[in-house]
């Protein structure tokens, strides 16, 4: 989780368009490369390809086969938070 915390700190310091890309992948952890670029353009991100490359170089994203993924430490962090949230909901029911 330490690596995820450092990556989250990096995301907070990004320029607005790069941060918007990171937030998109926090919601959609794995997206086809064409779909991601189209979606990001619709969100108003200028030059999504270079923003994605920037996030890959920072370790925030990973390049898969015809897709981009949120990095493993961030994915694990998000999935652990989702699991704990669903456990809390089940306890209330």
Name the H helices within 13-71: 16-27, 33-42, 48-57
pLDDT in tens, 24-64: 999 999 999 999 999 999 999 999 999 999 999 999 999 99
Query: Domain tally for the chain?
Result: 1
Q: How far apart are CA 8 and CA 28, in angstroms?
A: 16
Q: What CATH number has the domain bearing residue 41?
A: 1.10.10
pLDDT score recorded for residue 79:
87
**Two structure tokens written together for 40:** 């990001």
């Amino acid at each position: 989780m330490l690596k995820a915390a450092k990556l989250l700190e990096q995301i907070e310091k990004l320029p607005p368009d790069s941060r918007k890309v990171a937030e998109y992948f926090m919601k959609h952890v794995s997206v086809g490369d064409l779909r991601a670029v189209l979606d990001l353009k619709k969100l108003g991100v200028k030059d999504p390809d270079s923003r994605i490359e920037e996030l890959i170089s920072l370790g925030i994203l990973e390049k898969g086969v015809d897709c981009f993924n949120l990095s493993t430490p961030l994915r694990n962090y998000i999935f652990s938070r989702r699991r704990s949230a669903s456990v809390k909901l089940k306890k209330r029911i």
